[in-house]
Structure 1
Amino acid sequence: MKEMTKKIAVLGAGSWGSILASVLVENGNQVMLWTNSEEQAKELNEKHTNEHYIHDYTYPKELITTLDLKEAVTGADFVLFAIPTKVIRPVAQQLLEVLKELSIKPILIHASKGLELGTHKRLSQVITEEIPEEYRSGMVVFSGPSHAEEVANKDITLITAASQNLDNARAVQKIFMNKYLRIYTNTDVIGVEVGGAFKNIIAIGAGILHGLKYGDDAKAALMTRGLAEISRLGVALGADPSTFMGLSGVGDLIVTCTSVHSRNWRCGNQLGEGKKLDDIIQNMGMVIEGINTCKAAYELGNQLNLTLPICHAMYNVLYNDADIQEEIEKLMTRPGKSEIEKYDEC
C-alpha cells in the first residue's frame, strides 16, 4: 500500500533548509518553505534557484516558498526548523501562535546545531519550552555528518533522527530516507545535540591549523582530543558516551573538520592566515555557529567545573584576541596526562 503524502513545513530557506525541503519534495511529500526574505521567496518560486546559498542547483517546481508562516504550517504533519540558533526561540514563539490558531499538533523537527547563548540550553529544550505538549505531537533532532552542497549532489549521506519517543524518530526517518540519504534513529537526544553543536568549535580549530600550514598529525590530534572534550561535556549533561562514537559525534566531527563546505572550517582557515574575525564574519554572509557555541561551551564548562583546554584556547582566540601560536604552545606544554580517563576527570 502506497504511503500517504505528508505535508511538511520547513522554516528557513538557507542552504540546509532549502536542500532538505528539496529532498522532501523529491520523496513525494507536499512541502512549503518559509522565509522572511521577499527577494529569496521570489527567486525560489520563479527561478527555482537559491544562488546566495547553493550555486548551480535547480529546486523542484513543486516546492512552494512563502513569506506567510500560517500558510506554510496549515495542515502540516511535520514542522522542520532549519534556522540559525539565535532565532530559534522567537520563531518558536511565532509558531506557537499559528499552531493555536490552526488547532494542529505536528511533529516538530530541528536541524540546527548550537546552544542558546545565555541559557546554554539545547535547541530542543528551547523549542519545547516555547511550544507546550498540547501543540506538538513530538520533538525530533535531525543531526549528523552532512553538507547541503553534497546532499544537493545526491552524495551518500547518513544522518541521525533522535527523539525520546522512538516512533517519532521513525516517522522522521521515513519521510527523509531515499537512495542517497540514509537515516538512523537514536533516543539519546542530549548526546546527538551536544555532538552536533560542539564539533563546530573544533572545526574552527581545524581550519586554523590548516591556515597555519600544520600537517595531518596536528589535525588528527585536534579532532581526537576535541572529541574527548565533546564527550566529557556531553556525559556531564547526561548523554550516553557511545553516542559520540556515532554519526552525530565522530562522524559530524570528521566532516566538519575536513571540508571547505564548512563555514566554521573556512572561518578558522582565514584566522590561521591572519585575517581578523570581524572581517571574516562580515564577508562570510552566513552564520558561523561555532563562534557563539564556543562562548556557550566555555561558560557551561566553567559552570560544570570541567576541564576543556581546547575549548578554552578557542575562546581566548575568538573572544580575547589571543595570539594563536601562544594558545597552541599552552596546549602542547600542559602537564602530561593519561589518554584513558574517566569522563568526570580532567
Structure 2
Amino acid sequence: MANNAEEIKKFLRARRDAVRPSEVGLANYPGRRVPGLRREEVAQLAGVSVDYYTRLEQGRLTSASEGVILSIAEALRLTQAETQYLRDLLRPQLHRSVEPAPPQQVRPALLRMLNGLHDQPAFVLGRRNEVLASNDLLDALFTPFNHRPPGERNLLRWLLLDPAARSLYLDWAQITSEVVGVLRAEAGRNPDDPQIAEFVAELRSASPEFRTWWAERTVVERTWGSKRFNHPVVGRLDITYEALSLPGDPDQILFVYAGKTDDDLGRLRILASWYAQSTTHPITAGQGTAQPQRGEPGEQEPRQA
C-alpha cells in the first residue's frame, strides 16, 4: 500500500470525484472543470476551512479528530466501510502494532462444524482472502481449494486469474470488484503489513481489472447478500450468504451459503452427491485437472487449508 500521506491524498480525491454536485444539493452548471466536487465545496459541506481541507487532501496533514473525520465522511457521502477506512488513514495511532503475523489456524471444532454442513457450502477466509478451510460442498461449488497447493488457496487470486471463475459467476465483475474492496479495507486496517503490499503488487502485475478497481479506492466490508452462479454440473444456482466474524480472531470470517429457494437447495444436494460419488475430483467450477483420489464419504478427517 502507498505511504499514508499518499493514500490519504488519493482516497480523498477519488471519493470527491465520485460525488455529483446534485447529490449534495449543489448546482451542476455547465462548464464545471471537475467531475465531482471542488475542494472548497467539500470544505463548506464539512464545516472546515478550505485551507485545512486542502492541506488534508494534499497529504500535508496525516491525522484528524473524530469529529472532522465524520464531517468529511458525511460531505463525501462515504459508506460505513469507507468512513472506517478514512478513520484508519487519519488516526494511525489507533493501528495495531504490526509484527510478523503467525500462520492462521482454524479451530478443530470449527472444522468439524464445516464438515457437518452437508447442504450448505461453507468456508473460512483469513487475512488477504486466503481460504483457510472449506467443506466439500464449497469445493464442489467453487474449486477444490483443499487440494490446491497452500499458495494457491486465495479467493481473490482465484476470482481474478482463473478463467473458470468468470464463467461460474453471472455477476463476476461486481463480485470480484467487491472482493477487491474488501482487500482495500484490510490494507487500511494494516497499512504496514508487507504481505498485503506484496499481494497487491502481484495482482496489479497479473490483472488489468485489479489495477482498475484498486485505483478506484472503493472500500467494502463483508456482511451478507446473494450471488448467482452458472455451475457446469447443476446449472443456474442462486444462493444467499452470511459473513460472520469469529470470536477470538477478528481476521477470520466464516461464510455460510444457502440455497435461495427449494429448487436451489435441491441443486446443492445434487452437487453434493455428484462430488461425494466421484472417485477422483472431477472438473469443477475452477479446476481443469483431475485431483487426488478421495476416500468414501464420512471416512475423511476434517481438513484445513
TM-score bin (small chain) = under 0.3
TM-score using structure 2 length: 0.23
TM-score using structure 1 length: 0.21
CA radius of gyration, larger in: 2
Higher relative contact order, chain-length normalized (CA < 8 Å, sep 6+): 2
